[in-house]
Structure 1
Amino acid sequence: MVVLLLGLSGFFGYKLYKAIEEPVKFEAVKEKRYRKVIEKLIHLREAQMAHKTITGDYSGDIDKLAKFVDTAKFALTMQRDSTIPDREKNKKFRLDEETGGYYKEITLTDTLGFKSVKDSLFKEVEIRNLLKYDIKDAPGQIELETDYVFDKENRIPVFRARADKKDILFDQPERLLERELEVIAIEAVPGRYIRVGSLDEISTSGNWPRQYAPGASE
């Protein structure tokens, strides 16, 4: 009887230990992996925004996006204020521009040169690898898509990159993973995906909380 009680005590003690230990380990693994994935999503957003700034559109092809980053250049410009004769007013009031008349202020943009997108923003980033998880044996990859939304009569490009939590936490306890997929807490990543951008609205925001932002304490 004593042996049985000791056995039951040990069994329930072990179950209690596992019930406390598993969530702690799960949270540690989740935090580490989420940070890696979010870093990639941020780089994808930066690459897409550079692509749109120069070409006017986003790219849903990671190889084309990588080629753009490797080869594209952006102009280095400087703006300065200047004044020129206001010809409409001078003509209206029959004023001589050489001896006086009205002037108007304008802003001139001077091109100083060109700089490589790769060297400026992505010197240590390999764009082609951004869809791959840096997690051993993780299935799948980050999804990258582009589309257009309409604002009145204007067709506006949008993009979305998202990572499935089931891929990121594929080797974690199923009950804890299922709970994570349904989480809606303020300091958590809501839903099934870690996402940046949107295909339904004009947005380049991510759905992660501030604690995952670059520079936040781990």
Structure 2
Amino acid sequence: MKIVIRVLLTIAIILLAYVSWRSIQGPIDFNTEVAKRDRAVIQRLVDIRTAQVALRTQTGSYTASFDTLTHFVKEGRIPTVVKVGDLTEDQLEAGMTEAKAMQIIRSGSEKAIKAAGLWDETKNGPQLVRDSIFSPVIDVLYSNRHNFIPDSLPFVPYGNGTKFEMGVDWLITAAGYPIQVFEAKTPYLVYLGDLNQKLLNQKIQEILDRPGNRYPGMQVGSLDVANNNAGNWE
């Protein structure tokens, strides 16, 4: 009988120790996994913002369509200016500006270029060269992302195929000017839903209890306020 009691006590002690360990380790494991997934989601939202800003620069408008955004990243081209040569201090002091110089050079008149002192005898050509070259969007915007896949833009990491919610709208600024805005977002439940439900609910409730209209998830941009396309993690 004593042996049975000892065994039961040993088991009880082990179980109690395990429960105590889990009560400490559980939140640590949860927060570690949340941080890992948050980083992946934030990076994807930054990639979306990068593409949207470039698209608006090119076309004058954001898009609410991931098909349009993905096609732009895969097939679009961005102009970049190649700059060769600079004006000398003497030329600048004499009142020459780069705009004036390029106007003369683009006239194509060698005589006018030489008369303005903008001919480089060493290279037998104009002193300044300003040309636009068009490079693939993906090479310009994501040159440091070796594993970047444009088709992944719409999808939430760890979201089991769920797409980000994305929209575009117009707001009126305090000065009375219209401004186009966009937002892309996903709730925590989409990419954290398979984790500890109690801890996840606590995380969500903490967000909802904060002052202001806080979004319980990750979001970049806003359809409600002009926030310069900031992310809610920034």
User: TM-score with structure 2 length normalisation?
Assistant: 0.67
Query: What residue in structure 2 maps to residue 150 of structure 1?
Result: 172
After the TM superposition, which segments of 4 or more aligned residues of structure 1 sit over 4 Å from their partners? 1-4
Q: What is aligned with 2:50? A: 46
For structure 2, the residue ranges without an aligned partner over 5 or more in a row are 84-96, 102-128
| Structure 1 residue corresponding to 2:76, chosen from 56, 71, 84 | 71
What letter corresponds to residue 115 of structure 1 in structure 2? Answer: F
1:197 to 173, 196, 221: 221
Other-structure match for 2:112: none
Q: Distance in 1 between matches of 2:172 and 2:151?
A: 30
Letter in 1 for 2:139: D
What is the aligned residue count? 179
Q: Which of the pair has more CA radius of gyration?
A: 2
Mapped partners of 1:153, 1:14: distance in 2: 62
Matched, 1:207 2:232: yes
Quote the Cα distance in structure 2 between the aligned partners of 1:201 and 1:133.
24
* Distance change in 2, residues 1:36/1:18 (3 Å): same
- Please tell me whether the aligned partners of residues 47 and 65 of structure 1 are also in contact (alpha carbons under 8 angstroms): yes
Query: Offset at 1:77?
Result: 7.2
Partner of 2:194: 171
Q: Report the CA distance between 1:112 and its aligned residue.
A: 1.5
Judging by fraction of residues, say which structure has more helix.
2
List runs of 5+ in structure 1 lacking aligned partners: 84-109, 210-218
1:127 maps onto 2:150 in alignment: yes
**TM-score between the two structures when normalised by the length of structure 1:** 0.71
**Structure-2 change in CA distance of 1:140 and 1:19 (3 Å):** same
Identify the structure with the greater strand proportion: 1
Distance 1:32 1:77 in 2: 40
Pairwise CA RMSD of aligned residues? 2.8
Report Cα offsets for 1:41-66 as digits up to 9, x if no partner.
Answer: 00100000001111111011011112
